[in-house]
Structure 1
Amino acid sequence: MLTKAEKTKQFILETAVPLYNTKGIAGVSIDDVLAATKLTKGCLYGHFQSKEDLSEQVIALSLQKITDKMRVAVAGGKTVRAKLFAFLDFYKDPIHTHIPGGCPIFNTAVEADDHYPAVKEKVAAVMRAGQQELTYLFEEGIRNGEFSSRLNAPVMAFKLVAAIEGGLMMCRTMDTIKPMHTLIKSLKDELDQYKT
């Protein structure tokens, strides 16, 4: 059971996730977090050493939240193919995303690229882990006979992540979901070309 202090810290982090995902690290001020949480500056700094510390912990939580939600969706698949399709379907609505403001992986990666090396490394770790998990799924599908050995697991894993993240950004920018549905269908059709 969480202590009162731990509950307060968790409340601050949870409240700040959509702020950071919508406005970005540079766009969120301490005053924004204070206004959203209705807490005092002293209370906030009792839990975080600095805005940088707060930012890193908020980003870590947002990355964890999206990863956990995606893993739950994928785990529901009964076959490797079903799990891969669940991964693709998880991203089918780039406008109304699982966390307000879009995909925190993409949002944070773009902003952290040159300005926040510690945050950039957190995003890179999530991307590497995601690609590795997809690679393992493809390899499992090849081993159990669902997919042909012609399928290059690491290349296909990278392609899925790159296509989905790029599709999310483009569809959010153009304010439309239709191209994302077309992309997902195309990726599913490509995967089915490797079915045995």
Structure 2
Amino acid sequence: MSKAEKTREFIIEKTAPVFNKKGFAGTSLSDITRVTGLTKGAIYGNFKNKDDIALAVFDYNVQQVFMIASSPGDNGKSAVDRLVAIANQYKDQFAGIARNGGCPILNAAVEADDELPVLKEAVKKRIASWKDRFVQIILQGIRGGEIKKHVDPDRYAVIFIALFEGGMMLSKTMGDPVYFHQSLDKMIEIVYTELKII
């Protein structure tokens, strides 16, 4: 990794929690220089503008959260086990996600909805990718004979994302992880009662 690449990575890592907590509009150049200890020139020597920083930071924040749901043994698990493991891993990691500002997809989606088309497009791509991940796991389960054939993978993928994001929003707003835990417990219940072949 070159010096420029290391500096860029350093800026992203240091500013990631700031953007996730304060949002795009709320994060100033002085916030960025303060947390990185770099000058304005050094920041803009590595990024074209604030939009460029925001997109890089958004991708980084999403990757950090998605890594929580991945485990080395994923490929050896059944589809049902993978879905349940994802819910449980997110529940276990809620405190860390909340401490860093909550779900970056939810945060960016709310802020970018009407005023930041570039960021909105990045959010839409990440939601589509997340949905596809759930769809592929469900299809694996249908092919493997552990998930009912009539199950609509797209529908359940959307339900799972809605449970995750809705639970996160309620828990962050109310300052109580119980909402997030209850939402993901519902996801697990759906997996066992509506998807899994008994």
- TM-score normalised according to structure 2 size: 0.90
Check whether the contact 2:131–2:161 (CA below 8 A) recurs between aligned residues: yes
Which residue does the alignment assign to 1:83? 82
Q: Which secondary structure does the structure 1 equivalent of 2:27 belong to?
A: coil
The 10-residue stretch of structure 1 (174-183 or 110-119) with the greater mean CA deviation from structure 2 = 174-183
For the residues of structure 2 that align with 1:101 and 1:142, how far apart are their CA atoms? Answer: 36
Question: Could you give the per-residue CA deviations for residues 43-90 of structure 1, whole angstroms, max 9, x where no partner exists?
Answer: 111111222222222222222332334334783761111110122123
Which residue does the alignment assign to 2:161? 161
Q: By how many angstroms is 1:129 displaced?
A: 1.0
Verify: 1:124 aligned to 2:108, yes or no: no
Following superposition of structure 1 onto structure 2, how do residues 1-196 of structure 1 map, counting pairs within 5 Å?
Answer: 2-72=1-71, 75=74, 78-92=77-91, 94-97=94-97, 100-193=100-193, 194-196=195-197
The 10-residue stretch of structure 1 (8-17 or 91-100) with the greater mean CA deviation from structure 2 = 91-100
The 10-residue stretch of structure 1 (82-91 or 113-122) with the greater mean CA deviation from structure 2 = 82-91
For the residues of structure 1 that align with 2:76 and 2:97, how far apart are their CA atoms? Answer: 21
RMSD between aligned residues: 1.9
For the residues of structure 1 that align with 2:99 and 2:73, how far apart are their CA atoms? Answer: 18
For structure 1, the 5+ residue unaligned runs are none
2:109 aligned partner, one-letter code? A
Q: Which secondary structure does the structure 1 equivalent of 2:101 belong to?
A: coil
1:195 aligned partner, one-letter code? K
For the residues of structure 1 that align with 2:73 and 2:121, how far apart are their CA atoms? Answer: 25
1:163 aligned partner, one-letter code? L
Check whether the contact 1:77–1:83 (CA below 8 A) recurs between aligned residues: no
Q: By how many angstroms is 1:184 displaced?
A: 1.9
For the residues of structure 2 that align with 1:191 and 1:69, how far apart are their CA atoms? Answer: 20
Q: By how many angstroms is 1:161 displaced?
A: 0.4
Identity %: 33
2:28 aligned partner, one-letter code? S
Change (3 A) 1:125 1:34: same
Check whether the contact 2:105–2:123 (CA below 8 A) recurs between aligned residues: yes
1:133 aligned partner, one-letter code? R
Q: Which secondary structure does the structure 2 equivalent of 1:97 belong to?
A: helix
Aligned length: 195
Check whether the contact 1:95–1:175 (CA below 8 A) recurs between aligned residues: no
For the residues of structure 2 that align with 1:58 and 1:189, how far apart are their CA atoms? Answer: 34
The 10-residue stretch of structure 1 (7-16 or 46-55) with the greater mean CA deviation from structure 2 = 46-55
For structure 2, the 5+ residue unaligned runs are none
The 10-residue stretch of structure 1 (157-166 or 142-151) with the greater mean CA deviation from structure 2 = 142-151
2:124 aligned partner, one-letter code? A
Check whether the contact 1:24–1:108 (CA below 8 A) recurs between aligned residues: yes
